[in-house]
Amino acid sequence: MHQSIILKVQSDAHDRTVPLASILSRARIAARRLALPGVPDWLDNESDGYSDGVGLPSYRIVSGHHEFFNSAHGCWRPLIHEDGPPLLPLRQSVYDLEELVLNSPAGFLSSPSGPVGLSSYGSTLTFPSRYRIQNMDVLRALGCVRRLILDWTIALESAGVLGDGTSFTASERMEAYSVTQNFIAQNQSIGVAGNITGGTNTIAVSQVSEGGMDVRKVRDFLSETWGLLGHLPASVREEMQEAVSEAQAEAGKPNPDERKVGKALTIIKDLGMRAGGSVIASGIVAGAQALLG
């Protein structure tokens, strides 16, 4: 048995000498191998940076210091805001933030701001200004990301989601859906692009319809899909076989658990999407989607 990537990420998250960017990279690999519906948004955003328009988690909004450059004295002086210190967003990737802190021996980061006009003795003078962010505030935000990854992998381990190296069984992938969904629901500080309960780029599990699932149609679909496995790319064939087998085992019971069947169908749909745009793969995706409602 190979070393579990979940335990490896967990171990690295404990070790402050391991760069957070490396931990995130492994965490994203684990999420892909778990066949989650797209890598969880918070892992993607932390790794690649938060684009404009994407909501930031609370730990990435920090207090800043506004300063102007007093040319007469050749130094930066503070600007006092009546409503308190300005709140500044940290949208850079974890890698960029780590590099910026590493290369800022002065103990703070700065970014230019617009010119400010200051009145004195009846005249207004214009000065360049900047925002300053203490390194400690940036490190505190990075520490939150490290803690979240650690907590996520602990939750996966507690649910028995470990894998063999980077390989996971269909049942582990099904359990990972629930674990990750619950983890994000319980950690509202995580910035999720979109609604947690829907959308094509979130990590929520598609739910079965309130009216109940047509088990006969599910069995027919799974039987047809099983017969098409040999036409799928080798990269997804083994995982698809495991997922279909798990779904057939549950759907074949006298009283199948619709929630488990729904999870299995979601995995089958996502594997079909990973298989490419062939007629067979597209048919599997469409069939699973129709059953999920």
Four-CA torsion 193, 198, 201, 206, nearest 10 degrees: 150
Q: HSE of 157 in the Cβ direction (CA atoms, 13 Å)?
A: 14
- Assess whether pLDDT exceeds 70 at residue 90: yes
**Span 94-104, pLDDT tens digits:** 999 998 888 88
State the chain's mean pLDDT as an integer. 80
pLDDT band at 147 (very low <50, low <70, confident <90, very high): very high
pLDDT band at 139 (very low <50, low <70, confident <90, very high): very high
* Antiparallel, parallel or unpaired: β 108-120 and 75-78: unpaired
**Span 38-88, pLDDT tens digits:** 677 889 889 889 888 778 888 988 888 888 787 767 777 777 776 777 888
Name the more confident of 192 and 86.
Answer: 86
Q: Give the pair of three-digit tokens for residue 149.
A: 């990854």
> Long-range contact list for 155-163, CB < 8 A, 24+ apart?
155/179, 155/182, 155/183, 156/6, 156/180, 157/6, 157/7, 157/10, 161/6, 161/34, 162/4, 162/6, 162/7, 163/4, 163/5, 163/6, 163/30, 163/33, 163/34
Q: What is the 3-state secondary structure (H, E, C) of 16-48?
A: CCCCHHHHHHHHHHHHHHCCCCCCCHHHHHHHH
pLDDT band at 193 (very low <50, low <70, confident <90, very high): very low
Contact 30, 166 (CB under 8 A): yes
For residue 160, the 8-state DSSP code is T
**Span 227-276, pLDDT tens digits:** 888 888 888 888 888 888 888 888 887 778 887 888 888 888 888 888 88
Q: Give the pair of three-digit tokens for residue 250.
A: 């549950």
Q: Which residue has the tokens 């488990």?
A: 260
pLDDT of residue 120: 59
- Assess whether pLDDT exceeds 60 at residue 188: yes
pLDDT of residue 237: 87
Q: Give the pair of three-digit tokens for residue 210.
A: 């309130």
pLDDT of residue 122: 60
- Assess whether pLDDT exceeds 90 at residue 148: yes
Q: Where are the domains of the chain?
A: 5-54+142-186, 215-292
pLDDT band at 15 (very low <50, low <70, confident <90, very high): very high
**Span 17-43, pLDDT tens digits:** 999 999 998 998 888 888 876 677 889
Name the pTM for this structure: 0.63
